Amino acid sequence: MRELYPLIQPYREDYLQVSDLHSIHFEESGNPQGKPIVLLHGGPGGGCPPFYRQYFHPEKWRLVMFDQRGCGQSQPHAELRENTTWDLVSDIEKLREHLGIEKWVVFGGSWGSTLSLAYSQSHPSRCTGLILRGIFMLREKELSWFYQEGASYIFPDAWEEYIKPIPVAEREDMITAYYKRLTSPNLQIQLEAARAWSIWEGSTSKLFVDPELKQKFGDDEFAAAFARIECHYFINKGFFEQENQLLLNVDRIRHIPAIIVQGRYDVVCPMISAWELHQAWTEAEFIVIPDAGHSMSEPGISNALIAATDKFADF
C-alpha cells in the first residue's frame, strides 16, 4: 500500500477574476518545473482541502488546485448566479492560460469526474491524461438513486435524517423540495436543509461510516455552499444538452491516456456509471477497488490514486 505524500504548503496562492461576479481562489504546490496537473474537486461545491496535495509526488508534479465558483475560498460564497458546468469549464481554461500552461493532466473524482469529462471533451488538445475516481455523469438514474430512492435501502438510518426537513406531501420529488428550501429567503430554513442534505452524503461516503467526515459535512459554512450548489446543478440536470452527453462524446477523448478508479461499494456514485463509461471507453484503464465506497481517502482508493499519479508523472 502506498502512503500519502507528506503535506506540503503551496508556493503560490491567489485569486482569478473569472467574471464580473465571481473570483476563484487557486493555489500551486509541488515543483514549479514539474509536470502540470489540475485537480477538479467534488460536489459541486466541495472545495479543496489541503490533504488533496498529498496524492501527488511533490518533486514531480506542478499541482494546480482551485475552489470552483461559490465554494471554498472563492467569492461570493454559495452564489448560484453565473454558476453552471460550462462556466466552470471556461474557468479551467482561463486558469490554464493565466498560469501559462500549454497542456496538463486532469484529476477529478465524483463531481470532479463529471467536470473532468466535460472539460476534456470540450478541450481535448489541452489534456495529456485523465485520472478519474467515483464516476458521476449526472444522469437522472444517478440522481434518483441517491436522492430519491435506492441508497435509502442501504442507509435507512441516515436517510431518516435526510428526509426530516421535507414534509411527507413533498417527498415524491426530494430534489425539488430541497431546492425550494435551499433558495429560501429565510436563512434558518436554508441552513437546516443544507445541513441535512450535506450530512446525508457525509454519512454514506465510506464503506464504514466516519463520524469525523459527518461532522465536517455538517459544518454550517461548508454545508451552505455544498448543498445549495449541488442542488442547483442537479435541478438543472447539470446544464447538459442531453441525458447521456458525457457518454455520447467519449470519442472526443478516446485517444487521451486515462485511468478510472471505482469503489465496488460506492453508494454515492454507484459502480454502474463507471462500468458504462468503461464499456464505452475500453481504452481507459479500469480499476475496481473491492473493499471501498466513495471516498478518495479510503485505503484502497487512496492507494490506486497515488499509483495512478506516480504512473502519469513518469509517463
Residues designated catalytic? 110, 266, 294
Report helix angle 174-182 to 140-147, nearest 10: 80
Show Cβ contacts of residue 192 under 8 Å, excluding neighbours closer than 6 positions.
165, 181
What strands lie across the sheet with 258-263, from one edge to the other?
Answer: 12-17, 23-30, 61-66, 35-40, 104-109, 127-133, 258-263, 285-289
Looking up cell 464504514 gives 208
Coil, strand or helix at 210: coil
| Measured distance CA(175)–CA(12) in Å, rounded | 38
| Measured distance CA(250)–CA(257) in Å, rounded | 13
